Every structure is written in C-alpha cells, then in structure tokens.
Chains A and B, each alone.
Chain A
Amino acid sequence: AQTVTQSQPEMSVQEAETVTLSCTYDTSESDYYLFWYKQPPSRQMILVIRQEAYKQQNATENRFSVNFQKAAKSFSLKISDSQLGDAAMYFCAYRSANFGNEKLTFGTGTRLTIIP
C-alpha cells in the first residue's frame, strides 16, 4: 500500500517571502500522480497543483511550483511571494495510475501561517 508523509505539522512564513512544504511518499509503482491540495478555514478542498510521475519537468502554477524527485520519492511544494490568502492546511496526495485504483492517499497535512 502507498503511504504519504508530511513531516512538518506547522510552518510559518512572512508575507511576500517564499516557503517550501515537504512531502515524501512510498510506492512500488512506476506510474502515478501527485497532488497538493489546499484547505482554508472554509474546509473546502482546493487543488493547487499536480504532477504526473512520468514527466520529468516540475509542474508550475503561477506562484506555486513543485520539486519532484522521483528517485527520492519526494514532492515538495514551493510557494513564492506568500500572500495572506495562502494561509491554510496543505495536503499532499498520491494516486495510482492503474485503472480501478484511482483513489487518493493523503498525508496528514501541514498548517501554513502567513505572518503580515
């Protein structure tokens, strides 16, 4: 079974600075997808960014980018120019590419605080 580990329960960053959230995973599969979800106080789960394991290029979405290290099974999220609206819980998630096994496995989350 796959596992996802987020070793930082809490992180804080000054507004406009850059912060990196860590995520590692364990799998024996070669093809899979990785995601970062944001959960603000409203509880709504919002997809931030996703990465396909077969792509070597790191995904980027505006101020959000990932550092995907397949051999190390590491998938960190970098938030540049942090804004107050980035304050939330961030969850890393894994999904198999195998048909019939599309469920998400989540990490335990990192609570990000933005300091004005």
Chain B
Amino acid sequence: NAGVTQTPKFRVLKTGQSMTLLCAQDMNHEYMYWYRQDPGMGLRLIHYSVGEGTTAKGEVPDGYNVSRLKKQNFLLGLESAAPSQTSVYFCASSYTGDSYNEQFFGPGTRLTVL
C-alpha cells in the first residue's frame, strides 16, 4: 500500500495563477482532509470530506475549493493564488466508524506564491 500520496511535492506559482493539488489514498478511507502548515501556527484545516461527493469547510477555507468525485481522491484547488497561500499543504485520510479514527498523512506539498 502506498498510503496517502500527494502530487506535486513542490510548486512555485505567480500571483493570480491557478493550480490543483491532488491527494490519493489506497486505504479505502471515507474521510479525507486538507491542512495547511505555516511557521508557528501548527496545522490548520482548510476543507474536509466525509465521503465521496461531499465536502465541508474547515477553519481556513477562503481562497480554496475542493472536490471529491472519487472516494480515493481529494483535490484542492487555488483559483487565483495569492502570496498569503504560500505554505506547506498536507492531505490526510481516516476511516469512519472507528473509535480512534486515526488520520494518516501524506508527505506534504510545498507551495510558494510569488
């Protein structure tokens, strides 16, 4: 099993450009999450999904959109990138119905917006 994978690992954008980050998991998890990690602020939840075809806003959703068309994939989109979106982005997934509901994380994507 590859676990949780993220594509790409690194990306540099200019202000106003758009891009999509792809998260894939092969563990048949129902729940998937997108976080951003900024220095001194820990991880903050952007959006999450509790199942195929569903999405919900997290703590910091502005400027991002997501889609969960397939159970194994969770896409994070930036329509018009801003320097404030420079960050490291983590995807995670977890089961539902399990009392621990451990989240498994991908390796992260470092995004720089110039």
The interface stretch among B17-25, B36-44, B62-70 is B36-44
Within 8 A of B (CB), among A77-116: 91, 95, 100, 102-109
Q: Report which of A42, A47, A108 forms a contact with B41, defined as CB distance below 8 A.
A: A108
Does A45 count as interface, using CB distance less than 8 angstroms? yes
Chain B residues at the A interface, C-beta cutoff of 8 Å = 31, 33, 40-45, 48, 50, 58, 88, 90, 92, 94, 96, 99-103, 105, 107-108
- Check B99 against A47 for contact (C-beta < 8 Å): no
Q: Are B45 and A104 in contact, with the CB atoms below 8 A?
A: yes
Tell me if A45 and B45 are in contact (CB < 8 A).
Answer: no
For the complex, give the distance between the alpha carbons of A33 and B50 in Å: 18
Q: How large is the interface on A (under 10, 10 to 19, 20 to 34, 35 or more residues)?
A: 20 to 34
Please state if A104 and B43 are interface contacts (CB–CB under 8 Å): yes
In the assembled complex, the Cα of A108 lies from the Cα of B111 at a distance in Å of 20
Interface residues of A (CB under 8 A from B): 4, 9, 33, 42-45, 47, 50, 52, 91, 95, 100, 102-109
Q: Are A44 and B50 in contact (CB under 8 A)?
A: no
Q: Is the interface of B mostly helix, strand, loop or mixed?
A: loop
Pick the residue among A42, A43, A95, A108 that contacts B101 (CB under 8 A). Answer: A95
A100 with B43: in contact, given A33-B101, A44-B105, A95-B101 (CB under 8 Å)? Answer: no
Contact A102 B42 (CB under 8 A): no
Number of A-B contacts (CB under 8 A): 48
Q: Which residue on chain A has the smallest CB distance to residue B101?
A: A102
User: Looking at the complex, which one of A47, A105, A106, A109 makes contact with B102 (CB distance below 8 Å)?
Assistant: A47
Assembled-state Cα–Cα distance A93/B103 (Å): 11
Task: For the complex formed, measure the closest distance between the CB of B74 and the CB atoms of chain A, giving whole angstroms.
Answer: 14
Residues of B within 8 A of A104 (CB): 33, 43, 45, 92, 103
Chain B nearest Cβ from A108, distance in angstroms: 5
Chain A minimum-CB-distance residue to B110? A43
> Chain B residues with Cβ under 8 A from A42's Cβ?
107
Given A45-B90, A104-B103: 16 more A-B contacts, CB < 8 Å: A33-B101, A42-B107, A43-B88, A43-B107, A43-B108, A44-B108, A50-B100, A91-B43, A95-B101, A102-B50, A102-B94, A103-B45, A103-B58, A106-B43, A108-B41, A108-B42
